[in-house]
Every structure is written in structure tokens, then in C-alpha cells.
Structure 1
Amino acid sequence: MKIHILEMPLDFGASRHGSDMGPSAIRLAGIKQRLEALGHSTFEHTDIFHAKPQEYQNIGNPKAKYLKPIVNACTKLAGLVEEISGKNEFPLVLGGDHSIALGSIAGISATAKKQNKSFGVLYVDAHGDFNDTNTTPSGNIHGECLAASAGIGLSELTNLYFEGQKVDPKNICFVGCRDLDSGEKTLMKKAGVTVFTMSDIDRHGFPAIVQKVKEFFQKIDIIHVSFDMDVLDPMFAPGTGIPLPGGLTNREALLLMEEMAGTEKVKSAEIVEVNPILDVRNQTAILAVSLASRLLGETLY
């Protein structure tokens, strides 16, 4: 398979700096070599956008901070993702904060529409990222990106790249949530997304949840996997912007990626929120490489 590694060192969507160095950390952890060892061809994209550092930018709307540079960067990303996926090649996007999902999802959605195929998103994250400007407690766009992709929020976000909804909320499946804002919970329930929280995992066991996830996507043609490293317990991934106890283990996350690879429906993916400033000996980036490898065909035996 031809895999395009798209580096998006964007951290305008979050409060804590450092995730802009995530793509470099993942590159140094050997993502290219690991994927090529699986027989894939890799192509690097390291010059997608240019922007002044966050400290030199105008915040703009306090309920959607740094809206303009985020929209500009994600629009460029969307065009590249559509171009790559339209050739039946695989875009693997490395963040950066989770606001880059606006571009990734818009790009693969455009391809699905052109191919007249159904499209869904597996969102593996401790958070919902389903706020709008009325519910957001922070104004950070990384907490609004999935709602906007589902058509909820500011028009500048909901109409990014092309006008209208990018993914039907009924085709969105969350895994690993454990920190949802009250307002976004209301939006999520109203929209009709499917959520498997950490409590669900504790109650039913992870293999049962994985099976439910696979059943959820049975009628979907194209899946985008959006993986936020903060879904993992900080014991396994300390280098994230919002580390929360009680998350997935590395074994659970690797199993989920391997099982999703087995569906043969995953056509694009992103791994976000690796923050080397907060990491320990680059272990979070190293785990990110393993997750990407499992999603793209690596098995233990």
C-alpha cells in the first residue's frame, strides 16, 4: 500500500503548547521505517502549511480561538487528504492537536461523496470534542472539531473545505471517553452518536466493546480512525496535553487498531496530541508508531 505521512504541527486548537512537535517525535520514533518493514511504500509531506507561532497570532473569537489560522491549515490538509484517498492511497495524518480532524475528516468525506460510499468515524479519545460556541468551557477548537464535522457549530467550521455536514453523527462511534462536558453530552445525545465510555469497558470488558465497534461499522464503506493519545492511561502515554487517569492500556489500544485493520474498511487515519515536552523518553511517540503499525497490518504472529 502507498501510505502518505502528513505532518500537521498545529497546536492552535489547544491551551497547552508542545503538540506541534508531535509529528517530529513520531518521525524520530521510526514511523517510516516501521511501515516500510510491513511492505508499504511511504511518502512524506512535511510542508503542508506555514503560520506564525500561536504567541504571535490574534486569538480572535474567545469561543473559537485562532479560528482563521486553524481554518486555513485544515483546508489545505483536507485538499491533500482528498487527493491522496481519491487515488486509493492511504493518508496518515500526524498531529498536532485534535483540531486537525476538521481537515482530515473533510478530505476523506469528500472522497466518500465522490465515490458514493457511506462514511463513518471511529473517534478514540478521552474527550468528546463535541462542543459548540455555546457549550465550550475553554473556547479551544480542538474541543469543537467533531461537532463541527457533524454540522454543529460555527459556519466557518461546519463549511470548511465544502459546504455542509462532513459525517452523519449516527455514523460516529466513540471509544474510551471519560471526560465529557455537560453541554457537549447534551449535544452528543441529541445528535445520536454512539459512545463506549471507560465505564462501558469496565462493565462489559474490552473484547466485547471491540466486537460492538466492529458491528457498528458493518454497514459503513469507508472508516476514518481519529486517535487521540490522551485516551490512553498516562502510565502508558504520559506525553499528552490533557493526561487523565483511568484510560485504555497499551494492549487494549493495540488490539483495537489490529481489529480495525481486519475490517479492511479503514481508508484514512490520524494520531494526535503527542506532546514531547510532557513525555518520558519519547515513549508516547513510540507507542503512536506501534498503533499506526497495527492499524496498517502489523500482527504479533
Structure 2
Amino acid sequence: MNVHILEMPLDYGGRRHGSDMGPSAIRLAGLREKIESLGHNVFVNKKGFNIVAQEYADAGSNPKAKYLDAIVDACTDLAREVEAVSDTGDFPLVLGGDHSIALGTLAGLGASYKKSGKKLGVLYVDAHGDFNTAETSSTGNIHGECMAASAGYGLERLVNLYYEGRKVDPKNICYVGIRDLDPGEKKLMHEAGVTVFTISDIDRMGFSEIIKKVKVFFKTHCDTVHISFDMDSLDPSIAPGTGVPVPGGLSYREALLLMEDMSSLGMVRSMEIVEVNPILDVRNDTAAMAVALAARILGEKLF
């Protein structure tokens, strides 16, 4: 398979600097070498994305959607690249950056699959819902609004990024690992009809049972699956290099198992890994975990 690595060093969407260096950290952790060792052809977007460092960018006039102009511009560029890769049938692997880059990734995938008539599903592995709007957000950080906008809720400029309308049907979105939701976004997620498996669900039913349900969900809802993996879904005791750590997260083994089983489903055609912050990391361990997770999606097995 041809795998295209798209490095998106964008950290306008969050409150803590450093995730713009996440793609470099993942690259230095041996991503390309690992993917090539699995027999895939790797292509790197060497021209990159021209993004001004956050401290030099204009936050804009809307405190409920900080850096709106800069995020829309950057994610529009990303959408164009993702669409081009997806149109060829190759695998786009997007490295963030904060989770606001999902706006661009999903816009590109949505545009591509509209042409082919395929129904897109999204596995969103995250401690957070990212389903706020400007009305419900307490911070104005767009990384917490990206999934609501991609599903058709929120500011028009985010909802209509790259092309008009939602990028994914909320009924085709499945969350795993949720453990920190704002009241307003929780209400909107219920109204939208997304499927959510929280950490409590995992504790109650066991992770193997949750994975079975996730696989059935995608088999019955979608034609193709995109995985959006936020490293803060992992417990911060093992993945310290992330900007919004929440105690009580997934174990490394659980995350690897989820990726391996999703790979066996045969439906995953794209992935993004976000919120690696090397400033907060220890020995680049979180970035190394990101490499291992990508490898499992791309076919690596223990035996």
C-alpha cells in the first residue's frame, strides 16, 4: 500500500504550545522506517504547510473561536492534500498538531468520498468529545469544536470549511475512551446521535466487548473508516507528552489492541494522530507510542 505522511504542525487550536512540534517528534521516533518495514511505500509531503508560529499569529476578534482565520486557512490547505491522496486510493496518514486539524482531514476525506459515493465513518479515540460550539465552549479553543463542526454544528466558517455542509454524518461517528465532557457538548452529542463508549463503559463491559461493538458499528454503518487518534486518550502516566491530560485513560495495551482489531476489519483507509507535545514528553515516549499505534493500523502483528 502507498502511505502518504502529511505533517500538519498546527497548534492554534489549543491553549498549550508545543503540539506544532509533534510531527517532528513522531518522525524522529522512526515512523517512516517502521512503515517501510511492514512492506508499504511511504511518500512524504516535503513541501509541507506554511504555518506561522502561534505566538506571531492573530487570535482574531472572536474569543469563542480563537485563531479562526488561521485555522480555516491551514485546514483548507490540508483538506486539499488529503482529498488528492484519498482520490488515488492511497492511505493518508496525517500527523498533528492539535486536534483542530481534524477539520481539514475530514473535509478532504468528505470531498473525496462524496465523489465515489462511499459512506465515511469516523472512529474518534479521545479523552474529550471535541463537540463544543462557540456557544458552549468555555475556552474558545477550536480543537474542542472540530468534531461538532465536521458533523454540521457550530460556526458557519468551520462547518463550511473547504465545501459547504457537514463532512460526516454524526450517526457514523463512534467515540472510544471518552472521560471528560462539557455539559453543553454532552447535550449536543446526545442530540446529534453519535455513538460513545466511555471509560466507564470499558470498565463495565470489558475492552474486548467494546471492540466487538465498535467493529459491528462500522460494518453496519459505513463503507470506509477514518481513525482520529488523540494521544490524550491514553493515561497520562504512560503518555505524558500531550496538552490536555486526563487521569484514568486507556492503557497502552488496550490502544494497541484496538488498532490491531480495527486493522483486521479491512475498512480503515486513513488515520490522523494528534496532540503529541514533545515539550511535555519524557524521552519522546509518547511519540514512540504514536509510531506503534500507526504500525498496528498498517498491519503489524506480534505473531
- Please show how residues 156-171 of structure 1 align to structure 2 within 5 Å: 156-171=157-172
One-letter amino acid of the counterpart of residue 159, structure 2: T
Please give the alpha-carbon distance, in whole angstroms, between the structure 1 residues aligned to 2:250 and 2:46: 30
TM-score if structure 2 supplies the norm length?
A: 0.98
Shift of 1:46: 4.1
User: Could you tell which deviates more after superposition, 18-27 or 49-58?
Assistant: 49-58
One-letter amino acid of the counterpart of residue 142, structure 2: I
One-letter amino acid of the counterpart of residue 221, structure 1: D
2:58 alignment counterpart? 58
> Does the CA contact (< 8 Å) of 1:48 and 1:77 recur in 2?
no
Please give the alpha-carbon distance, in whole angstroms, between the structure 2 residues aligned to 1:67 and 1:160: 11
- Please show how residues 54-133 of structure 1 align to structure 2 within 5 Å: 54-60=54-60, 61-133=62-134
Q: Please point out which of 242, 252, 255 is paired with 2:254.
A: 252
Deviations 1:198-240 (A, max 9, x none): 0000000000000000010013101110000000001221100
1:47 alignment counterpart? 47
1:30 alignment counterpart? 30
2:136 alignment counterpart? 135
Structure 2 segments unaligned to the other structure (5+ residues): none
One-letter amino acid of the counterpart of residue 269, structure 2: K
Partner secondary structure for residue 208 of structure 1: helix
Q: Does 1:6 align with 2:16?
A: no
One-letter amino acid of the counterpart of residue 281, structure 1: R
Deviations 1:99-133 (A, max 9, x none): 00001111111111111111110000000000001
Please give the alpha-carbon distance, in whole angstroms, between the structure 2 residues aligned to 1:32 and 1:88: 19
1:185 alignment counterpart? 186
Deviations 1:179-200 (A, max 9, x none): 0000000000000000000000
Partner secondary structure for residue 7 of structure 1: strand
Question: What is the CA RMSD across the aligned residues, in angstroms?
Answer: 0.7
Partner secondary structure for residue 71 of structure 2: helix
One-letter amino acid of the counterpart of residue 151, structure 1: G
Partner secondary structure for residue 219 of structure 2: coil
Please give the alpha-carbon distance, in whole angstroms, between the structure 2 residues aligned to 1:199 and 1:47: 43
Please give the alpha-carbon distance, in whole angstroms, between the structure 1 residues aligned to 2:257 and 2:238: 15
Deviations 1:16-71 (A, max 9, x none): 00000000000000000000000000011143321321112221111000001111
2:226 alignment counterpart? 224
1:290 alignment counterpart? 292
> Does the CA contact (< 8 Å) of 1:223 and 1:267 recur in 2?
yes
Please give the alpha-carbon distance, in whole angstroms, between the structure 2 residues aligned to 1:190 and 1:44: 39
Deviations 1:252-290 (A, max 9, x none): 000000011111111111000000000000000000000
Structure 1 segments unaligned to the other structure (5+ residues): none
Partner secondary structure for residue 238 of structure 1: coil
Deviations 1:141-178 (A, max 9, x none): 00000000000011110001111010000000000000
1:16 alignment counterpart? 16
Task: Report the count of equivalent residues.
Answer: 301
Counting aligned pairs with the same residue, the percent is 66
Please give the alpha-carbon distance, in whole angstroms, between the structure 2 residues aligned to 1:101 and 1:46: 20
Q: Does 1:266 align with 2:260?
A: no
Please give the alpha-carbon distance, in whole angstroms, between the structure 2 residues aligned to 1:124 and 1:53: 27
Please give the alpha-carbon distance, in whole angstroms, between the structure 2 residues aligned to 1:16 and 1:223: 30
One-letter amino acid of the counterpart of residue 211, structure 1: K
1:196 alignment counterpart? 197
Partner secondary structure for residue 77 of structure 2: helix
2:245 alignment counterpart? 243
Please give the alpha-carbon distance, in whole angstroms, between the structure 2 residues aligned to 1:291 and 1:236: 14
One-letter amino acid of the counterpart of residue 37, structure 2: A
Please give the alpha-carbon distance, in whole angstroms, between the structure 2 residues aligned to 1:238 and 1:49: 27
One-letter amino acid of the counterpart of residue 30, structure 1: G
TM-score if structure 1 supplies the norm length?
A: 0.99
Partner secondary structure for residue 268 of structure 1: strand
> Does the CA contact (< 8 Å) of 1:48 and 1:76 recur in 2?
no
Please give the alpha-carbon distance, in whole angstroms, between the structure 2 residues aligned to 1:64 and 1:268: 27
